[in-house]
């Protein structure tokens, strides 16, 4: 054996010893980390004039009492004169805080503390409460569809696009709320049952979305109002026949900060839809669930065929009447294209033309109750910007009942054009979204619509109600 090979053997021994040392160190570190409870992510939602809901995901299931997990909040960014609020509930590593008794129309800053550890480590979460049922000027952002920039088998179905930073940084004026109209991810989960292991697939998907820096920062700085569509509920074109829908539904309730839901998750009763509504200023937002109760698109159209489901439709009609009686404007958040069936080139299997009899029933209800003139619709699904001033939206058999329709997508998915025609020609693509500015003088509400690619406005319109 020459000196060189002796040296090699010596080096190998030193290397192996070093490896054992590093491995034992990392074992000790991970054991230590397991004992350290902390928040991994959080997001804000259910914004009102007096409160907000925060859902925070912890790295482990805590044994501690709820008061070890708190929100510290203040009206200043440096959290001066702070107040403390302990978690309302702790379940499945999710701490839920329903902050209440806040001042209306007030900017708040907050951090979560878990066993003394602050989240986020730098900066704060923030939100601004609103005014309700009184004139109020505000702006919301909206869009849908964030499958990610890598296509094919490498695509993990989530996005970390810079569009989320652009939306967060928008400041003319800062957005009160971001309405996500579905396809939060493209995990296309298909489970067959309603067991913890099935719900876990959905929990993991929320983890994946909220581990994307740009998305998480958006939802930590602007409260979300989120309704699912097909790819985050299950897979492409999925409907009410999907056997795993109760798992999707349970996970949504557990993981997502949301406004009060009408239905409880009950497999025997067949309930679990996520439709919800809320009011900001004198505007009622109605978000329908277009998946949970939906009949198969392939079913032949007939008066019983439904996209909304009987119970949701009754609720929807009641919401429309309440909006008409109590507010100055209604925004229907409807995830899939409403204007469809007129143009064979842009035909889609997803849209309302496959439920044309129900669409006509809704249009007739709007006409009969004089609601169409107080209504505007925002939609996603089609990965495009488009706008119709109402001229292509005439579906009532007893009158006109037309209203403006806005298509605002996609955040980060391959461009597509669906439905139409639209009075403003569609623009397909990614990094696209909408801003709605509401200006209310107490008599009339003006809605300025800006449909954008990144920061550039591509389509603009003003409607007065």
Q: Which two tokens stand for residue 62?
A: 């805590």
Residue closer to Fe ion by CB (options 181, 363) is: 181
Shortest separation between residue 367's beta carbon and Fe ion, angstroms: 31
Which of 183, 239, 412, 440 lies at the binding interface for Fe ion (CB under 5 A)?
183
Residue closer to Fe ion by CB (options 307, 401) is: 307
Q: How far apart are CA 125 and CA 72, in angstroms?
A: 10
Q: Kindly give the residue spans of alpha helices, DSSP state H, lying in 36-132.
A: none
Residue closer to Fe ion by CB (options 188, 207) is: 188
Q: Is 444 within 8 Å of 194 (Cβ atoms)?
A: no
Q: Interface residues for Fe ion in 143-182 (CB under 5 A)?
A: 145
Shortest separation between residue 231's beta carbon and Fe ion, angstroms: 6
Residue closer to Fe ion by CB (options 72, 297) is: 297
Residue closer to Fe ion by CB (options 60, 414) is: 414
Residue 6 DSSP SS3: helix
Q: Of 263, 299, 221, whose CA–CA distance to 42 is shortest?
A: 221
Shortest separation between residue 221's beta carbon and Fe ion, angstroms: 24
**C-beta neighbour count of 171 within 10 angstroms:** 8
Shortest separation between residue 410's beta carbon and Fe ion, angstroms: 6
* Pairing mode, strands 329-333 and 283-287: parallel
Residue closer to Fe ion by CB (options 14, 414) is: 414
Shortest separation between residue 176's beta carbon and Fe ion, angstroms: 25
Residue listed under structure tokens 């054992």: 20
**Size of interface with Fe ion, in residues (CB under 5 A):** 2
Number of residue whose CB is nearest Fe ion: 145
Residue closer to Fe ion by CB (options 141, 328) is: 141
- Residues 253-282: x/- map of binding to Fe ion (CB under 5 A)? ------------------------------
Q: How far apart are CA 214 and CA 346, in angstroms?
A: 32
HSE-CB at 262 with a 13 A cutoff on CA atoms is 19
Q: Which two tokens stand for residue 40?
A: 């991994």
Q: How far apart are CA 157 and CA 132, in angstroms?
A: 37
Shortest separation between residue 183's beta carbon and Fe ion, angstroms: 4
**C-beta neighbour count of 90 within 10 angstroms:** 20
Q: At what angle do helices 196-210 and 213-221 cross, to 10 degrees?
A: 90
Q: How far apart are CA 386 and CA 408, in angstroms?
A: 7
Q: Kindly give the residue spans of alpha helices, DSSP state H, lying in 109-221.
A: 163-169, 196-210, 213-221
Q: What angle do CA 66, 47, 38 make, to 5 degrees?
A: 30
Shortest separation between residue 243's beta carbon and Fe ion, angstroms: 22
Q: Which two tokens stand for residue 31?
A: 């054991």
Residue listed under structure tokens 């003139």: 373
Q: Of 294, 287, 295, whose CA–CA distance to 335 is shortest?
A: 287
Residue closer to Fe ion by CB (options 338, 463) is: 338
Within its chain, how far is the Cα of 70 from the centroid? 24
Shortest separation between residue 69's beta carbon and Fe ion, angstroms: 35
Residue closer to Fe ion by CB (options 93, 212) is: 212
Shortest separation between residue 182's beta carbon and Fe ion, angstroms: 7
Residue closer to Fe ion by CB (options 159, 393) is: 159
Shortest separation between residue 163's beta carbon and Fe ion, angstroms: 14
265: exposed, middle or buried (Cβ count in 10 Å: 0-12, 13-18, 19+): buried
- Residues 109-148: x/- map of binding to Fe ion (CB under 5 A)? ------------------------------------x---
Residue closer to Fe ion by CB (options 183, 450) is: 183
- b/e map 35-70, b = 16+ CB within 10 Å: eebbbbbbbbbbbbbeebbbbbbbeeebeeeeebbb
Shortest separation between residue 187's beta carbon and Fe ion, angstroms: 12
Q: How far apart are CA 184 and CA 189, in angstroms?
A: 13
Residues that bind Fe ion (CB under 5 A): 145, 183
């Amino acid at each position: 054996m020459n000196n060189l090979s002796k040296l090699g053997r010596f080096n190998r021994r030193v290397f192996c010893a070093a490896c054992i040392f590093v491995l034992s160190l990392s074992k000790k570190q991970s054991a230590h980390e397991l004992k350290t409870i902390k928040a991994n992510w959080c997001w804000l939602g259910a914004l009102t004039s007096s409160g907000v809901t925060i859902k925070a995901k912890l790295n482990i299931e805590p044994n501690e009492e709820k008061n070890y997990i708190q929100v510290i909040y203040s009206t200043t960014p440096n959290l001066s004169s702070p107040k403390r609020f302990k978690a309302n509930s702790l379940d499945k590593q999710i701490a839920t805080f329903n902050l209440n008794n806040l001042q209306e129309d007030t900017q708040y800053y907050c951090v979560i503390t878990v066993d003394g550890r602050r989240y986020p480590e730098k900066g704060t979460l923030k939100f601004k409460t609103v005014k309700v049922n009184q004139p109020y000027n505000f702006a919301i952002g909206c869009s849908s569809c964030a499958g990610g920039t890598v296509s094919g088998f490498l695509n993990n179905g989530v996005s970390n696009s810079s569009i989320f930073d652009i939306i967060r940084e928008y400041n003319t004026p800062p957005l009160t709320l971001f309405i996500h109209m579905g396809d939060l991810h493209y995990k296309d989960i298909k489970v067959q049952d309603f067991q913890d292991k099935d719900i876990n697939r959905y929990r993991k998907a929320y983890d994946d979305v909220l581990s994307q820096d740009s998305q998480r920062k958006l939802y930590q700085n602007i409260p979300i109002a989120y309704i699912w569509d097909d790819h985050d509920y299950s897979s492409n074109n999925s409907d009410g026949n999907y056997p795993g829908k109760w798992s999707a539904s349970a996970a949504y309730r557990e993981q997502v900060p949301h406004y009060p839901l009408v239905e409880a998750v009950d497999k025997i009763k067949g309930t679990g839809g996520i439709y919800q509504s809320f009011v900001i200023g004198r505007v009622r937002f109605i978000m329908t669930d277009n998946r949970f109760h939906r009949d198969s698109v392939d079913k032949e159209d007939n008066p019983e065929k439904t996209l909304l489901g009987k119970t949701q439709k009754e609720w929807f009609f009641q919401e429309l009447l309440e909006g008409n009686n109590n507010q100055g404007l209604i925004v229907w958040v409807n995830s899939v294209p409403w204007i469809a069936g007129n143009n064979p080139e842009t035909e889609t299997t997803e849209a309302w033309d496959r439920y044309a009899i129900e669409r006509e029933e809704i249009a007739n209800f709007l006409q009969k109750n004089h609601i169409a003139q107080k209504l505007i619709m925002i939609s996603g699904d089609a990965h495009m910007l488009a706008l119709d001033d109402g001229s292509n939206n005439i579906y009532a058999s007893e009158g006109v009942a037309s209203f403006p329709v806005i298509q605002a997508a996609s955040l980060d998915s391959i461009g597509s054009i669906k439905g139409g025609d639209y009075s403003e020609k569609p623009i397909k693509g990614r990094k696209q979204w909408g801003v709605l500015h509401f200006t209310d003088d107490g008599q009339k509400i003006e809605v300025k619509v800006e449909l954008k690619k990144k920061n550039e406005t591509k389509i603009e319109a003003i409607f007065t109600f």
